[in-house]
Structure 1
Amino acid sequence: MKSKKILLSATLIAATSIQCFSWGQKGHDTVCFIAENHLTPVAKATAEKLLGGKSIVYYANWLDNASHTPEYSYSKTWHYKNIDANETFENAQMHESGDVVRAIREQAYILNNPDSSDEQKSLALKMLVHLVGDIHQPMHMGHRSDLGGNRWMVKYFNSPKNLHSIWDSSLPESAHKWSYTEWQQQIDRATPEEEAEIIADGSPEKWGKECYQIAAEVYNTTPEDSKLSYDYIAKWTPVIEEQFLRGGLRLADLLNSIFDPHYAGANNIIKKN
């Protein structure tokens, strides 16, 4: 019994001491595949050229691993924007190394800057395709005090887990056992009018605040030590689907705006740089 308690304690410590970075791999692949299906031919060709012939889906999860290496460790805080319960999105303290909102703007600027080298643009693109996915994961707007839900412990089908990991992977995988291509096929069905509404006023500030509002509801309806199961999946599956779709359509709009001079989209990030 004592050994079991020690093992459980070690598991909980590991779960709460690691800052999880993003949607699980499936989520990022889905966001990028939706985006890829909405790129103009010019934007798609430009992106693939910068990525050495590979698609944006290939690099969907690249930054999660890269941020753990010495070369790119400076990007660790770029995956999220911590907002404590006593703060608002507007007045939240920004990490000195930056956050996901600022990082998206900076990488978009590099991609849109004619003076940037192809090497600089390639790195910016690898980062950007991941970061746009990150800013649509509600726990990436989570509290600083609990590391975006990493220290907010609950039980998921009687298994101890932190809230961040549930939103990263457990919820999407419980909602649908689909491949990322099946996710795209099933949820990427918005009408032109709905797409226009999703990409309207395309700015990371808007996306982040929208996600922050979802995060606030997640915290309010998921107290610590909650026992989560089927009803939780049913409640939040539509939100997961909507966030994947929003991320994909907005990423496509951003890349089209940068790479295709004939594209008439709604994105305004590059206009403000």
Structure 2
Amino acid sequence: MKRFWLFLLCAGALQNASGWGQKGHDVTAYIAECNLTPEAAQQIDRVLNGRSPVYYANWLDSASHTPEYAYSRTWHYADIDEGYTYDTMPKEPAGDVVTAVNDLVAKLKSKTLSAEKEAEALKMLIHLVGDMHCPMHTGHRDDLSGNKIPMTFFGAPTNLHSIWDTSLPEAAHKWSYTEWQSQIDRLSDDEATLIESGTPKEWFMETAALCKPIYEVSSEGTNVSYDYVHKFTPLIEQQFVKGGHRLAKLLNEIYE
């Protein structure tokens, strides 16, 4: 049993770049797609050669594990221990989710990229804004954002990071990504404006603050069951909406 837990922790560490699972990224991208201006939607359709943002929402998770894009593995997260801010925390030399989002936005706004590089940057941005709103991608550095905290999910061995990446969103609602959007993306104009304000660094710190109550009820050996799912489903819905609207804001600014 001990060997199994060690294997599970190692496997979890290798998955540190996964972000929301497929459904979470699809939902975030679709909410963004539904809030694009007509001008931005037309330009993005051109850049992605007729594909939608949802089509590429999970592309970077696979690409980061290829030699060509291995440099982007640390871009999916920024581990931050309690008591630190983004400015004071130790930084990944190859970059993190905040530096990556800011850099991609700047490159796309420059309008100097080749068609191939523009499509690449856009696909990366679609994914990484989603990652920025997944709490366990702003978790503690000393436990690898929950990868080193073994837990069970309805009795099945896993870890805190994996629970928040995939298991919890999938348990919250058995909806398609279009159903998620139709049910939770119901902001007034004033609410949307408020959510879309701020910078990627501020959005990151906002997500990092959400980790405190999560860690408080997610100690090693915790079995996640219906009460945990019920407690955190509203937070997951909130993060999907925030991620989607903020991605739309960036894309509308890039392709205004």
TM-score over 0.5 (shorter chain)? yes
Partner of 2:209: 213
Would you say 1:187 and 2:184 are equivalent positions?
yes
Pairwise CA distance, 1:67: 0.2
Residue by residue over 1:40-83, the C-alpha shift from the partner in whole angstroms, topping out at 9 and shown as x without a partner, is: 11101111111111111110000000000000000000000011
Query: Which secondary structure state, in structure 1, belongs to the residue aligned with residue 212 of structure 2?
Result: helix
Partner of 1:130: 127
Residue by residue over 1:211-244, the C-alpha shift from the partner in whole angstroms, topping out at 9 and shown as x without a partner, is: 0000122112211212221111111000000000
Would you say 1:237 and 2:233 are equivalent positions?
yes
Would you say 1:67 and 2:64 are equivalent positions?
yes
Cα separation, 1, equivalents of 2:171 and 2:245? 23
Query: Which secondary structure state, in structure 2, belongs to the residue aligned with residue 88 of structure 1?
Result: coil
Partner of 2:74: 77
Query: Which secondary structure state, in structure 2, belongs to the residue aligned with residue 154 of structure 1?
Result: strand
Query: Which secondary structure state, in structure 1, belongs to the residue aligned with residue 56 of structure 2?
Result: coil
Pairwise CA distance, 1:148: 1.2
Cα separation, 1, equivalents of 2:6 and 2:209? 33
More divergent stretch after superposition (29-38 vs 141-150): 141-150
Would you say 1:35 and 2:32 are equivalent positions?
yes
Query: Which secondary structure state, in structure 2, belongs to the residue aligned with residue 145 of structure 1?
Result: helix
Residue by residue over 1:3-49, the C-alpha shift from the partner in whole angstroms, topping out at 9 and shown as x without a partner, is: xx487346524533423321000000000000000111110111111
Opposite residue 173 of structure 1, the aligned amino acid is: E
Query: Which secondary structure state, in structure 2, belongs to the residue aligned with residue 151 of structure 1?
Result: coil
Query: Which secondary structure state, in structure 1, belongs to the residue aligned with residue 55 of structure 2?
Result: coil
Would you say 1:58 and 2:55 are equivalent positions?
yes
Report matched runs for 1:50-199 at 5 Å: 50-199=47-196
Cα separation, 2, equivalents of 1:13 and 1:89? 26
Pairwise CA distance, 1:134: 0.3
Opposite residue 16 of structure 1, the aligned amino acid is: G
More divergent stretch after superposition (240-249 vs 227-236): 227-236
Report if the CA contact (8 A) 2:9-2:148 is conserved: no
For this pair of structures, how many residues does the alignment match?
Answer: 255
Tell me how large the CA RMSD over aligned residues is: 1.5
More divergent stretch after superposition (216-225 vs 62-71): 216-225
Cα separation, 2, equivalents of 1:88 and 1:27? 26
Query: Which secondary structure state, in structure 1, belongs to the residue aligned with residue 53 of structure 2?
Result: coil
Distance 1:6 1:224, change over 3 A: closer
- Gap runs ≥5 in structure 2: none
Partner of 1:253: 249
Report if the CA contact (8 A) 2:85-2:205 is conserved: no
Report if the CA contact (8 A) 1:136-1:243 is conserved: yes
